[in-house]
Chains A and B, each alone.
Chain A
Amino acid sequence: MKHIIDRLFTVPNGLFVVLLLIQLLPGKATRIVDHPEYTVGLTLIFEVILLTASFSIKEKQSRQVFTDIIGFIYAFLILWVLVTAKFNLFGNAKGAIFPPPGAVFMRFVDDINTILDNVRYSLVLIFQGYMLGVVAAIPLGLFLGWHARVGAAAGYIAKFLSSISPIIYIPYAIVLLPTFRSASVFVIVVASFWPALASTMSGVLNVEKRIIDSGKALGLNRLTMLFRVILPASLPQIFIGCNQGLSVSFILLISAEMIGARSGMGYYVNTYADFGNYTSALAGVFVIGIVVTVITFLFNLLQRFLLKWKQ
């Protein structure tokens, strides 16, 4: 009984009640009309997730982190509702740039098909570019790291080149490659290639010497040594570069799409922003945030699975 009360009377649940109650306050007429039923609907979805989590996650610390995250989302929504729909702090002149949350969520629901099409376009593009970059970088990094002589020089070159923001390549890629799409893929290949290469090389160079001796003592041939010993031993380090490459790729893709694409999430946000439709633009921004978070989460699951042998 006590633990049920403990898990119900929490700060996030308190914020949930506050968020519902402030919807009852009289509002001001805003330039963009609020649709509080959408905010309430979203809040109820969050609360179902919150309650499920608080009674199903066994470990105390991860349960708290999870419910706290939703608590922060509630706090943010409360602030947003108060600043826009309830007090109209920006006035009607700037009101278009700061629409109330209900309006944004409604737009999201109404426009879901277009949004999903654009998400799909961006994801296919990033998947192609990222895979090409990483698949090229890891074997090359293994080879260069293993041949220390070539590797030492290549390491410095890789560090130098990876410090150049791949944004620089965008104009060249647009001029040199036939379509804007291929130019975007190229930029993502570059963005994911250098960090993956640099981290693979440093991973190989830092493999515990005793592990290499252990492999040599088994009389492993070169290929077996490289792919059954050096590769798995460097994997923790390789993942650092791949993580970095993934987040840079997303940032670059969205920026590239904002420059000249005809589809994709960056295009979606940019087009509406250009026409002063910030309700749609914000809906797109939230979708980008959610998509990137989900992809990062899945990537971390993969990482945890492949590195489950690590303490």
Chain B
Amino acid sequence: MSKIEVKNLFVEYSDNNKSFLALKDISFRVEEGEFVSVIGSSGCGKSTLLSILLGLKLPASGSATIDGRSITGAGTDRGVVFQHYSLFPWMTVRSNVAFGVKQSRKGLSHRQRLEIADRFLEKVNLPDFAHKYPFQLSGGMQQSAAIARALAMDTDILLMDEPFGAIDAKNRTIMQELLLSLWEGDGKTAKKTVVFVTHDIDEAIFLSDKIVMLSNSPGHVFREITVPFVRPRNRFAIFGTDAYSKLRNELMSLFYLDVAEKIGGDEVVI
């Protein structure tokens, strides 16, 4: 049984009695301990797919299951990092992490929760910012803190919705490496199952075991691609290899082929 299984999923949005299809017949699986990226251009429904996995939205038909059980609502078996507002602005960074821990790990004392928070803030290099409010941190630091919270909650599954989408290019690579090193860990503990939504092809290749490519709206699975590079990964060992270029070209052509199809095969100006 797969950790996460999405089967013939249809999702509709309705607005003023009009409804439109956001996702059309989506099926894919994520195995335990697998890092899967979902990519597609904006508006293809990839964030909608994530809200289904989060339990914030329910499917019109089809199913989404975790460990074989249907997702019926939000739950503390899933940690999440959004692009914005993962952290509550009125709590310090430390309180934010401890608050997350309180929700997912019952029976801990206040002191134990703070200790866990401090330990994870150390892992993301933020111990000096524990008592700051989110607005006092840079965008990258905020996302680091959000990742610290998601990891501190110690959930089996990590769902990430374009977590580095609003961060500048240089810091984004730093964040990707941080995430990867935290996820790959020391090899002793079991890896978390990750679903990572992005529109950045390089990011998807660098991070994932498998890439699920969605087509434009209504989104459906265009292609599933396995990423062959061994772990632990090193950006410079991968970039520039033939395998990398081939994979990247394949994804790029799919990406633009899809765009071209949608606008009726006319010349594409980007």
A and B interact physically: yes
| Residues on A facing B (Cβ under 8 Å) | 208, 210-211, 213-220, 228-229, 232-233, 235, 308-311
Q: Are B54 and A210 in contact (CB under 8 A)?
A: no
B85 to chain A, nearest CB (A): 4
User: Which of B75-83, B172-180, B202-210, B259-267 touches A?
Assistant: B75-83
- Our pick among B54, B78, B84, B133 for the contact of A308 (Cβ within 8 Å) is B133
Q: Are A219 and B85 in contact (CB under 8 A)?
A: no
Knowing A210-B84, A214-B82, A218-B103, the reply to whether A309 touches B76 (Cβ < 8 A) is: no
- Our pick among B56, B89, B99 for the contact of A217 (Cβ within 8 Å) is B56
| Residues on B facing A (Cβ under 8 Å) | 51, 54, 56, 73-76, 78, 80, 82, 84-91, 99-100, 103-104, 133-135
- Our pick among A210, A218, A233, A310 for the contact of B100 (Cβ within 8 Å) is A218
Q: Are B85 and A309 in contact (CB under 8 A)?
A: no
Docked Cα-Cα span, A228 to B103, in Å, equals: 12
- Our pick among A211, A218, A228, A309 for the contact of B133 (Cβ within 8 Å) is A309
Q: Are A211 and B85 in contact (CB under 8 A)?
A: yes
- Our pick among A210, A228, A311 for the contact of B85 (Cβ within 8 Å) is A210
A211 to chain B, nearest CB (A): 5
Q: Are A218 and B74 in contact (CB under 8 A)?
A: yes
Q: Are A219 and B74 in contact (CB under 8 A)?
A: yes
A288 to chain B, nearest CB (A): 35
Q: Are A214 and B86 in contact (CB under 8 A)?
A: yes
21 A-B pairs (CB sep. < 8 Å) = A208-B85, A210-B82, A210-B85, A211-B85, A214-B82, A214-B86, A214-B87, A216-B54, A216-B56, A216-B74, A218-B74, A218-B80, A218-B100, A218-B103, A219-B74, A219-B103, A228-B99, A232-B90, A309-B90, A309-B91, A310-B135
Knowing A218-B76, A219-B75, A219-B76, the reply to whether A309 touches B89 (Cβ < 8 A) is: yes
Enumerate chain A residues within 8 angstroms of B84, measured Cβ to Cβ.
Answer: 210
Enumerate chain A residues within 8 angstroms of B91, measured Cβ to Cβ.
Answer: 309
- Our pick among A211, A217, A229, A232 for the contact of B54 (Cβ within 8 Å) is A217
Q: Are B78 and A217 in contact (CB under 8 A)?
A: yes
CB closest chain-A residue, reference B100: A218
Docked Cα-Cα span, A112 to B103, in Å, equals: 56
Q: Are A233 and B74 in contact (CB under 8 A)?
A: no
B107 to chain A, nearest CB (A): 16
Enumerate chain A residues within 8 angstroms of B80, measured Cβ to Cβ.
Answer: 214, 217-218
Enumerate chain A residues within 8 angstroms of B133, measured Cβ to Cβ.
Answer: 308-309
A16 to chain B, nearest CB (A): 41
Enumerate chain A residues within 8 angstroms of B76, measured Cβ to Cβ.
Answer: 218-219
Q: Which 7 pairs, one residue from A and one from B, show the smallest C-beta to C-beta distance?
A: A232-B90, A210-B85, A309-B133, A309-B90, A217-B80, A219-B76, A311-B135
Enumerate chain B residues within 8 angstroms of A214, measured Cβ to Cβ.
Answer: 80, 82, 85-88
CB closest chain-A residue, reference B132: A309
Q: Are A229 and B135 in contact (CB under 8 A)?
A: no
Enumerate chain A residues within 8 angstroms of B100, measured Cβ to Cβ.
Answer: 218
Docked Cα-Cα span, A228 to B88, in Å, equals: 9
Enumerate chain B residues within 8 angstroms of A208, measured Cβ to Cβ.
Answer: 85
CB closest chain-B residue, reference A311: B135
Enumerate chain A residues within 8 angstroms of B56, measured Cβ to Cβ.
Answer: 213, 216-217
Docked Cα-Cα span, A311 to B89, in Å, equals: 9
CB closest chain-B residue, reference A215: B88
CB closest chain-A residue, reference B77: A219
CB closest chain-B residue, reference A220: B103
CB closest chain-A residue, reference B83: A210
CB closest chain-B residue, reference A213: B56
Q: Are B74 and A217 in contact (CB under 8 A)?
A: yes
A136 to chain B, nearest CB (A): 23
Q: Are B54 and A310 in contact (CB under 8 A)?
A: no
- Our pick among B78, B82, B90, B104 for the contact of A213 (Cβ within 8 Å) is B82
B135 to chain A, nearest CB (A): 5
Docked Cα-Cα span, A211 to B83, in Å, equals: 11
Given contacts A228-B88, A235-B90, 15 further A-B pairs with CB under 8 A are A211-B85, A211-B88, A213-B56, A213-B82, A214-B86, A216-B56, A217-B54, A219-B74, A219-B103, A229-B88, A232-B88, A309-B89, A309-B133, A309-B135, A310-B89
